[in-house]
Amino acid sequence: MWPFRTGGVAQPYALPLFPLKTVLFPGGLLPLKVFEQRYVDMTKQCMKDARPFGVCLIVQGDEVATPQGAAPAIATVGTLARITDWDVPQVGILHLATVGETRFQVRSHAIQPNGLVIGEVTPLEPEPAAALGEDYGPLAQLLELIATRVGPRNFPEERKYDDASWVGYRLAELLPLPLSIKQSMLEINDSDVRLRVLHKFLTQQGLI
């Protein structure tokens, strides 16, 4: 249905996009209730082909299609969402469990007749791996506390409290930050910079 990437490094490829008022981070869990026909068709095709779709933050507009059919404005950096489980509680509605994979940059996008947004995207390399520094130990401790409170169904099964990127991503997605700040946390390509910002914020809030 879509000419997905077939090989090569950082080559643009076509990707169906799901604009949402949320930010998906690599390794994060995102449950979705899908009912608009364009997205039902998209997710069925993704499951058939064992392919991900892209999640992008809506920066202006609505998640649900308007009578005018105008597509929302979206952020230019998003995250691949891989479907890990699904259910059909009633006809026409899909419940999906998805997990975030790698980030991508939207170079351009076009709207299909059914309103589905297809982006031409380029994969973004994962940020350099780094161990969590001792100064950020309180962040990991806070994250462990949050993980206990949200429960195992809402938190990744694999825990990486010694991984700077993983700790930063999990805190950025779980803390009650403005969506614009969450998006900036996604776009940062340096785990230390992300952790410094989060550490400053949490210190100011008296949480660590």
The pLDDT tens digits of the residues spanning 137-192 come to: 999 999 999 999 999 889 999 999 999 999 999 999 999 999 999 999 999 999 99
Supply the pLDDT for residue 66.
55
Supply the pLDDT for residue 8.
43
Supply the pLDDT for residue 165.
97
- Cβ(32)–Cβ(95) below 8 Å: yes
Cα R_g (the chain), whole angstroms: 18
Supply the pLDDT for residue 65.
56
* % the chain with pLDDT above 90: 78
Angle in degrees, 0-180, between the axes of helices 191-204 and 164-174, rounded to the nearest 10: 40
Q: In the chain, which residues have pLDDT < 70?
A: 1-10, 63-70
Indicate the fold that domain 134-204 takes in CATH: LON domain-like fold (1.10.4060)
Supply the pLDDT for residue 69.
57
- Domain spanning 13-123: which CATH class is it, in words? mainly beta
Q: Using CA atoms of 2, 11, 166, 27 in order, give the dihedral in degrees to the nearest 10.
A: 10
Domain spans, the chain:
13-123, 134-204
- Cβ(135)–Cβ(25) below 8 Å: no
CA distance 107 to 137: 37
Supply the pLDDT for residue 30.
96
Residue 51: CA atoms inside 13 Å, Cβ hemisphere, count? 20
